[in-house]
């Protein structure tokens, strides 16, 4: 039989082995958990099948591209985006991703298009760019009334882009270049010379005589692209307002200029302009404002270089009703002191 001392040594040896085994087991379990945590942290999150979600600016740019090119399909939108941003940022999109983004943001696209359509242009100084164009209205003379026929009167309009003031609205006898140059010189004598005149590509505006006349006057000629009337949108919008009223009026060929002068007065002095902050073109041209109280003149600190601000502090003397063209042109006329 083994002795008591040998049994004690065996028990001690077994205890030491048990302790060492438990230590190794604990260490192995700890290392295994650590490797699992590292592997889980290295796992890449996916977003609708993509290895990583697209940045937010990608969605924003896709909406802007679709709003700018509304007739473009998902393939064309993806091509436009990849051409503009893939070489710079390394981010590209596919047609499926574009389809999902545009499908989920139809309202945002239409909202952005409406915002661009009605955005207010940046303010410009007067006599910087003038818009020049022609239109036609129906007129009758005494002889034509007997025959029951109408004639088309040619109307020349010149508009200042900065203040939206109609500088000229005249009935001209023909579309000759010399006739347009004479009308332009008359407006320059009254209001000063602009730096540029913007026209479309009508034959009279691209003639050698008209371009030579502008060169002699020292005025730069800006021409719109072919079939792009929106590039001269201010004068086109002015004629839109004019035609909305003139289409309901039968003009007398001998008195048509009196009617044009009446419309020009109503447009410049009576009718407030939304893109001018509720001011009329004449008030912007002369730097007058009905929104400033007369008492502000006493509290305003005017430096020697700001003496022009005194004109904007003028008060309204009286307000009278205005009506023209048998009630088609209505409004309120403000008389300043």
Q: What is the pLDDT of residues 42-70, one digit of tens each?
A: 444 555 555 678 899 999 999 999 999 99
Q: What is the pLDDT of residue 131?
A: 96
CB distance 155 to 169 below 8 Å: yes
Q: What is the pLDDT of residue 147?
A: 57
**Given a cut of 80, is residue 221 above it in pLDDT?**
yes
**Given a cut of 70, is residue 40 above it in pLDDT?**
no
Mean of pLDDT values over 85-114: 93
Q: What is the pLDDT of residue 297?
A: 43
Tell me which residue of 183, 180, 192, 157 sits closest to 267, measured CA to CA.
157
**Given a cut of 80, is residue 103 above it in pLDDT?**
yes
Q: What CA–CA distance (Å, rounded) separates 213 from 278?
A: 37
- pLDDT class of 30 with cuts at 50, 70, 90: low
Q: What is the pLDDT of residue 132?
A: 96
Put simply, whether the predicted model's pTM sits higher than 0.95 gets the answer no
* Average pLDDT score over the chain: 83
Q: What CA–CA distance (Å, rounded) separates 184 from 132?
A: 9
Q: What CA–CA distance (Å, rounded) separates 279 from 281?
A: 7
- At a CB cut-off of 8 Å and minimum separation 6, what does 219 contact? 193, 194, 195, 196, 197
- At a CB cut-off of 8 Å and minimum separation 6, what does 22 contact? none
- pLDDT class of 148 with cuts at 50, 70, 90: low
């Amino acid at each position: 039989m083994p002795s008591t001392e040998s049994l004690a040594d065996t028990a001690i040896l077994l205890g030491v082995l048990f302790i060492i085994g438990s230590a190794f087991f604990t260490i192995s379990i700890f290392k295994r958990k650590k490797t699992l945590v590292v592997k889980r942290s290295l796992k890449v999150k996916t977003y609708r099948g993509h290895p990583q979600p697209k940045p937010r600016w990608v969605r924003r740019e896709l909406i802007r591209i679709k709003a700018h090119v509304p007739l473009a399909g998902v393939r064309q939108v993806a091509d436009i985006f990849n051409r503009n941003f893939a070489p710079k940022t390394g981010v590209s999109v596919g047609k499926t991703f574009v389809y999902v983004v545009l499908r989920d943001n139809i309202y945002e696209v239409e909202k952005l298009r409406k915002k661009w359509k009605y955005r207010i242009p940046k303010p410009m100084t007067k006599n910087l760019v003038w818009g020049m164009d022609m239109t036609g209205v129906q007129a009758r003379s005494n002889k034509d009334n007997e025959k029951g026929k109408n004639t088309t009167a040619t109307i020349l309009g010149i508009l200042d882009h900065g203040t939206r003031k109609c500088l000229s609205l005249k009935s001209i006898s023909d579309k000759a270049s010399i006739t347009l140059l004479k009308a332009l010189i008359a407006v320059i004598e009254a209001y000063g010379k602009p730096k540029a005149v913007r026209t479309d590509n009508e034959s009279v505006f691209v003639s050698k005589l008209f371009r030579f006349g502008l060169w002699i006057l020292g005025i730069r000629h800006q021409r719109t692209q072919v079939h792009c009337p929106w590039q001269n949108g201010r004068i086109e919008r002015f004629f839109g307002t004019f035609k909305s009223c003139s289409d309901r009026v039968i003009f007398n060929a001998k008195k048509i200029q009196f009617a044009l002068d009446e419309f020009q007065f109503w447009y410049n002095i009576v009718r407030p302009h939304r893109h001018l902050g509720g001011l009329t073109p004449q008030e912007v041209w002369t730097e007058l404002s009905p929104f400033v109280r007369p008492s502000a003149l006493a509290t305003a600190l005017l430096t020697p270089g700001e003496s022009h601000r005194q004109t904007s502090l003028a008060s309204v003397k009286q307000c009278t009703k205005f009506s023209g063209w048998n009630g088609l042109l209505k409004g309120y006329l403000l008389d300043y002191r």
